[in-house]
Structure 1
Amino acid sequence: MLQGEHIQLRALEDTDLEFLYAMENDTDVWEVSSTVTPFSKFVLEQYLENAHRDIYEVKQLRLIIETVENQYTVGCIDLFEYNPQHHRVGVGLVIFNKAERAKGYGAESLKLVGRYAFEHLQVHQLFANITEDNAASIRLFEKVGYKKAGVKKDWVFIKGTYKDEILYQFFNPNVKGL
């Protein structure tokens, strides 16, 4: 478990099934996850059964974000497209309960997972892909130090419209020359 002042990041548990079912089937989340079909509980149960697999094998890791005080689940943070050869990994974040947004949980989660990635996975950089109209995510990632690296024009097609996707990067602050 990775613990901060207000939140902790922990591995998935069987008890997370209902949370994952609600989150993965919320069409508002589909836009940021590139999902186009609902998930059954059966599929999510199988996912949970395999969630223990090593990031070196599956190239991804999902962690639950929960409050330290009462261990209330507020979202999840994912590491994806882990590439040990090039020392990079993508980061995705969802604070699912809208009432829990803008409380600092996202920023604290990004800092914790960044420290984990730099110290334990030995990555040189983290990256995030954010659609141009996701102002809250742009503010969040910029707040914790991610820098805009480029724009992928008409990269995603959502609800009949092409949207640009912005690539953000965060480099390991302990690597000289940055």
Structure 2
Amino acid sequence: MLKLRGNHIILRALEPEDLDFLYDLENAHEVWEVSGTTTPYARHVLKLYLENAHRDIYDVKQLRLCITSVMGERLGLIDLFDFDPKHRRAGLGILIAEEKHRNKGIGKEAVELLCNYAFDTLDLHQLFANVGADNKRSIHLFKKLGFVQAGLKEDWNYINGRYQDELLFQKINK
């Protein structure tokens, strides 16, 4: 089982016991704009997803990990998506579940751990992140960790009755 340990957090593979946590996060309407979700997920669908979460990133082109405290409290999720081994790149997404856990260094440590894993273990050349132009926290996080804004997608997402820009950030492992 994949487990990446930092000073304050652990990134670990999803377990069947994460069903309620995943169900609550995936169905939290306020985070749908970040995940691109437009409809609620049924518990049964998420249970099936968890049953297949062990599948290899080379097979499913995605890796989702649970961010936990060293004491085991679930704090959020972090993903590699659109994994492309030929071009050695993947997207990176992160969601810290509750406001009380944000701005405490959890996201920074989680992204650092996953970047190290992606570059050192998966031998990726680059990671990218798509960030809403109004998401100041994520913009600050990715810039702080060496991601560079590589593009602007104007009017990319239609959220709450208006179009919003999305920024493309890249981190290239040189």
Sort the TM-score into its range (normalised by shorter chain). over 0.9
In 1, the alpha carbon distance for the partners of 2:92 and 2:4 equals 16
Normalising by structure 1, report the TM-score.
0.95
- Aligned partner of 2:93 in structure 1 is 92
Aligned-residue CA RMSD (Å): 0.6
Identity of aligned residues (%): 53
Secondary structure at the aligned position of 1:155 is classed as strand
Secondary structure at the aligned position of 1:99 is classed as helix
**Residue 44 of structure 1 pairs with residue 52 of structure 2:** no
Secondary structure at the aligned position of 2:129 is classed as strand
In 2, the alpha carbon distance for the partners of 1:154 and 1:97 equals 28
Secondary structure at the aligned position of 1:148 is classed as strand
Letter in 2 for 1:24: E
In 1, the alpha carbon distance for the partners of 2:156 and 2:122 equals 29
Q: CA deviation at 1:158?
A: 1.0
In 2, the alpha carbon distance for the partners of 1:118 and 1:153 equals 30
- Aligned partner of 2:80 in structure 1 is 79
Following superposition of structure 1 onto structure 2, how do residues 8-157 of structure 1 map, counting pairs within 5 Å?
A: 8-68=10-70, 70-157=71-158
CA displacement, residues 10-35 of structure 1 (integer Å, 9 cap, x when unaligned): 00000000000110000111000000
In 2, the alpha carbon distance for the partners of 1:128 and 1:47 equals 23
The gaps in structure 2 that reach 5 residues or longer are none
In 2, the alpha carbon distance for the partners of 1:113 and 1:149 equals 20
In 2, the alpha carbon distance for the partners of 1:133 and 1:101 equals 16
In 2, the alpha carbon distance for the partners of 1:123 and 1:81 equals 12
How many residue pairs match? The answer is 172
Secondary structure at the aligned position of 1:165 is classed as strand
CA displacement, residues 56-98 of structure 1 (integer Å, 9 cap, x when unaligned): 0110000000011x11110010000000111100000000111
The gaps in structure 1 that reach 5 residues or longer are none
Normalising by structure 2, report the TM-score.
0.97
CA displacement, residues 83-115 of structure 1 (integer Å, 9 cap, x when unaligned): 011110000000011111111000000000000
Q: CA deviation at 1:124?
A: 0.4
Runs of 4+ in structure 1 off by over 4 angstroms are: none
In 2, the alpha carbon distance for the partners of 1:110 and 1:31 equals 20
